[in-house]
Amino acid sequence: MQRSTSSDETLEAKRAFESFCATRNVKILHYHADNGRFQDKAFMCDLHSKGQTISFCGVNAHFQNGIAEKRIRDLQEKTRKMLLHAIERWPSAVSIHLWPYALRTANDQMNYTPDNVDGTSRLERFTNSQVSTHLKVFHTWGCPIFALNNALQAGSSIPKWNSRARLGINLGLSPKHARSVSLVLNLTTGNASPQFHVIHDDFFETVKDEDRSRTSRWLVEAGLINEEGESNPVPRMPNFEDSFRSSENNGEIENVNENEINELNSNEEIQADRPHLADDTQAPRRSHRNRRMTQRMRESLVQQSKNNLSFAAEIGELEILHEDDYRIQEAMKDPISFAGLIEKDTMYYHEAMGAPDREEFIRAIVKEINDHIDGKHWVIINESDVPNDAIILDSVWSMKRKRNILTRQVYKWKARLNVHGGQQEYAVNFYETYAPVVTWYAIRMLLTLVLLNNGFRSK
């Protein structure tokens, strides 16, 4: 995590990235970057020493590196949602100063989650590996986590009245250990340590009302609040007047006073439904010289008009912001079914026919029909022979890909012909349902009864 854009930190991040790639048998040969820091002498010398090459986007054409820009935006949005959610659920313990851990967790989740038609993840494609990560290792970031007492982990015993576990904050997966090892923030010392023997409270059910108001000691140890529990003001959006005067604008916009900013804010062209100004819009200057408004200034003014709320005010809207998050958390109770949900392997007929592997589904449809014909499951009759009081029920196709549980590779395409279940009439045959397959619970129960009764006796 870089704290600045200095040459030293940029090179340190570059070497860390290349080390990450080397452990996965990937070698970086070429970079494509924006103009700026990546053109300085230190960065170029490091590239030359390693035999690497680099190309640049056009001047002020960041969209030419759109994949990287989109990834940065997605990471920021995901990190923000996770952080706000945890603060709302456990405000006395979780702080915005933990954002680097949330950002790393967001990156891990995006890398390890299947996102392709064939069910592979970004990391699988990057490393050319066919072994996917077990999604059950991912838990809600910032949730309470109970780590087993260190003495009990070492096989020792403790007094029976001592607590067997300590409470901490889940900071995501440890980057230096197995995927089943979590980083736990100690609420007393403020230290983060890798722990294996843990239980996660993904829904913050153990956080009581008194816990929400009680200040965590780790905030004091980290110097974020004082002994009286008084904290620094909640960070707000940066001051726009200062941002115009900063060197970020490369000297194109300077010395914009408060009246000029208010005048710009009152301009009807700067509204939420018009995020971009016309190219010929001029920015007023004290020197009475007109200069073309930069894209960065346009974006800043629009952001100011749309986001005039503080970070703390946004927290109060979490019930609306995270309605989908709660639904996703509920679906994640069963990791295997959740994996099947996000892979979208179960689909309707029209979806299967629009998929890249539609030919495999067509072969599965032919096989299904032939199996019914060979098994003599139906008798074909003319529609004119159907009784007048009879209802002809439609049929529907259920299409599904079957995957290997470990590699997540598709090994079978299935097509099932079913009777349309939505055409039954209430009070007539609404509750007459039939399952063509038996559940594993019923099979196990039947085999258990067989063993208990020494086998079924034939009459």
Q: What is the pLDDT of residue 334?
A: 57
**Whether 77 and 205 share a structural domain:** yes
**Whether 33 and 132 share a structural domain:** no
The answer to whether residue 88 sits within a structural domain is yes
Give CA–CA dist 416/367, Å, rounded.
10
Task: Give pLDDT tens digits for 356-394.
Answer: 899 999 999 999 999 999 999 888 889 889 888 888 888
| E strands, 179-302, in order | 182-186, 192-195, 198-200, 282-283, 291-292
Which ranges of 90-181 would DSSP assign to H, the alpha helix? 99-112, 122-127, 150-153
**Whether 288 and 266 share a structural domain:** yes
Q: What is the pLDDT of residue 268?
A: 39
Distance (Å) of CA 325 to CA 85, 94, 99, 263, 317? 9, 18, 18, 40, 14
Contact 311, 234 (CB under 8 A): yes
The answer to whether residue 2 sits within a structural domain is no
The answer to whether residue 336 sits within a structural domain is no
Q: Residue 454 — pLDDT band, cuts 50, 70, 90?
A: confident
**Whether 78 and 198 share a structural domain:** yes
Does pLDDT of 444 surpass 80?
A: yes
What is the distance, to the nearest Å, from the Cα of residue 64 to the centroid of all Cα atoms in its chain? 25
Of 165, 187, 221, the last residue of a domain is 221
The answer to whether residue 110 sits within a structural domain is yes
Q: What is the pLDDT of residue 313?
A: 45
Which ranges of 254-354 would DSSP assign to H, the alpha helix? 258-265, 295-306, 311-315, 318-321, 323-331, 335-343, 349-353
Residues 6+ apart with CB under 8 A from 227: 220
The answer to whether residue 279 sits within a structural domain is yes
Both tokens of 62, joined, read: 């960041």
Residue type, 16: A
Task: Give pLDDT tens digits for 177-225.
Answer: 888 899 999 988 888 899 999 999 999 988 887 666 666 788 888 777 7
**Whether 419 and 435 share a structural domain:** yes
Of 221, 256, 280, the last residue of a domain is 221
- Where in the sequence is the domain holding 349, given as residue range(s)? 344-382+389-452
What is the distance, to the nearest Å, from the Cα of residue 421 to the centroid of all Cα atoms in its chain? 35
**Whether 78 and 55 share a structural domain:** no
Percent of the chain with pLDDT over 90: 24
**Whether 149 and 204 share a structural domain:** yes
Give CA–CA dist 353/362, Å, rounded.
8
**Whether 295 and 194 share a structural domain:** no
Task: Give pLDDT tens digits for 260-313.
Answer: 434 444 443 434 343 333 344 444 444 445 555 665 566 555 555 544 444 444
Does pLDDT of 26 surpass 70?
A: yes
Per DSSP, 247 falls in state: G
Residue 283's φ and ψ, nearest 5 degrees, are: -95, 130
Residues 6+ apart with CB under 8 A from 320: none
Residues 6+ apart with CB under 8 A from 451: none
Give mean pLDDT, residues 218-243.
Answer: 60
Residues 6+ apart with CB under 8 A from 286: 255, 257
Across all residues in the chain, what is the average pLDDT?
76
What total number of domains does the chain contain?
Answer: 4
**Whether 208 and 99 share a structural domain:** yes
**Whether 351 and 263 share a structural domain:** no
Which ranges of 60-112 would DSSP assign to H, the alpha helix? 66-89, 99-112
**Whether 37 and 171 share a structural domain:** no
The answer to whether residue 118 sits within a structural domain is yes
Of 188, 221, 254, the last residue of a domain is 221
Give CA–CA dist 327/104, Å, rounded.
23
Residue 232 or residue 72, greater confidence: 72
The answer to whether residue 27 sits within a structural domain is yes
Percent of the chain with pLDDT over 70: 70
pTM over the 0.85 mark: no
| Residue count of the chain | 459
The answer to whether residue 286 sits within a structural domain is yes
**Whether 360 and 442 share a structural domain:** yes
